[in-house]
Amino acid sequence: MTRLKKTPSRSVSIEDVARLSGVSITTVSRVINKFPSVKEKNRQKVLAAVKQLKFEPSVFAQRLASGKSNIVALVIPRYEGVFYSFYVLELIRGIGTLCEALKLDLLLHLTDACSSLNLKGVGGIIFADLIGNRRQLEDALSAGIPAMVINNFVDDLQVSCIAVDNQGGATNAVNYLISLGHKKIAHITGDLVTQAAAARLEGYKKALEKNNIQLRPQYIFKTDYSRGQARSAAEKLFKMEEPPSAVFVASDAMALEVMNVAAELGKNIPRDLSIVGFDDNPSGLYGQVALTTVRQPLIKMAEEGVKELERFMNSRAPAKIKKVFLPTELVIRESCRNV
């Protein structure tokens, strides 16, 4: 018995649509890309051929024809442990989900302050914070590429930005500790090169000042957001001659490390130390006690950033610049007590 060799099925091309509908390839392209200048008679022929052949036009070809790119670059400053960061993962989740819903292609770009960005073929850029890479933002704006900044409030450039009210969130956290009777309140900072960490430190100081509590420089422990440095800060805190009764920590991940050190030293949370974190990381629910924290709207910030960027990408006239602060929320759980 002779076997017949199967020929591989060929994908339908734009030439096939043109041949079946009896029009030129240019006309087919214009119909697919919704040009208004095509005669209605020819439009119907092309649409009928597309349906009959089950033709799926190339998205990339459509964008080339329209002169627009739907590629969104997400630029994140590179640092150690970036993919273990709750903040980064939430941003990627929020931005990625909305880009998919809006039919935008997402390009992730981890960058350092020295490298230049390849902007070829990019329709818009979201800068997730600015940490030494402000020059990249300025280059994008100079090139006329739609750009958006999130998690950093930029007040001296014509660029839209959405940031979290870090200072207000920190002030609320420290005010809460003060309302419980605490006056010896320490602060474990994040990396102060970031706007967020600097604002949280400022909020801590303002809360003390407003409540007439003396600022003690020895109660401020500066870190780089890492759990290692949080551990070192916690060890120093517990060994102080006059240790604080409460601590406001600039991230939940570091706050959980402080709890670990407390447990190793036989300390009880919150009896020996009240703790407030920042982020509302779900892992804060599963420590020794549920962590009181400041919830920041990361998903909302990410989604609003994509919506704003898409508005710029689709605007024919110069779009209005928006600068927004999103409020935080104090989430009270079990890690604080009355003095």
Peptide bond before residue 270 is cis, with ω within 30 degrees of 0? yes
What pLDDT score does 6 carry? 41
CA-only gyration radius of the chain, Å:
27
What pLDDT score does 56 carry? 75
What pLDDT score does 319 carry? 82
Identify each DSSP E strand in the chain by its residue range: 71-77, 105-111, 124-128, 147-150, 160-164, 185-188, 220-221, 246-249, 274-276, 293-295, 323-326, 329-331
Which of 212-215's residues contact partners 24+ apart within 8 Å by CB, and which partners? 213/178, 213/183, 213/185
Q: How far apart are CA 19 and CA 282, in angstroms?
A: 58
Q: Which residues contact 91 (CB under 8 A, 6 or more apart)?
A: 74, 76, 128, 150, 151, 298, 301, 302
What pLDDT score does 61 carry? 52
Q: Which domains does the chain have, with CATH numbers?
A: 14-66 (1.10.260.40), 71-164+298-326 (3.40.50.2300), 166-296 (3.40.50.2300)
Other C-beta atoms lying within 10 Å of the C-beta of residue 248: 30
3-state secondary structure of 220: strand
What pLDDT score does 57 carry? 66
Token pair, residue 24, equals 């030129």
Could you read off the pLDDT tens digit of each residue along the chain, which spans 339 residues? 444 444 344 577 888 888 999 998 888 877 876 777 788 999 899 899 888 888 876 554 555 455 567 899 999 988 766 777 899 999 999 999 999 999 899 999 888 877 778 777 889 999 999 998 999 999 999 888 999 999 999 999 999 999 999 999 999 999 999 999 999 999 999 999 999 999 999 999 999 999 999 999 999 999 999 999 999 999 999 999 999 999 999 999 999 999 999 999 999 999 999 999 999 999 999 888 999 999 999 999 999 999 999 999 988 777 899 999 999 999 999 999 998
**C-alpha distances out from residue 235 to 143, 229, 240, 293, Å:** 49, 10, 9, 21
End-to-end CA distance of the chain: 93
Q: How far apart are CA 209 and CA 312, in angstroms?
A: 42
Q: Is 221 left (phi over 0), alpha (psi -120 to 50) or beta?
A: beta
Inter-residue contact 91 to 128 (CB < 8 Å): yes
Residue 115 per-residue DSSP state: P
3-state secondary structure of 98: helix
What pLDDT score does 3 carry? 44
Inter-residue contact 174 to 205 (CB < 8 Å): no
Find residue 261's DSSP bridge partners: none
**C-alpha distances out from residue 93 to 74, 88, 331, Å:** 12, 9, 22
pTM of the predicted model as reported, rounded to 2 decimal places: 0.79
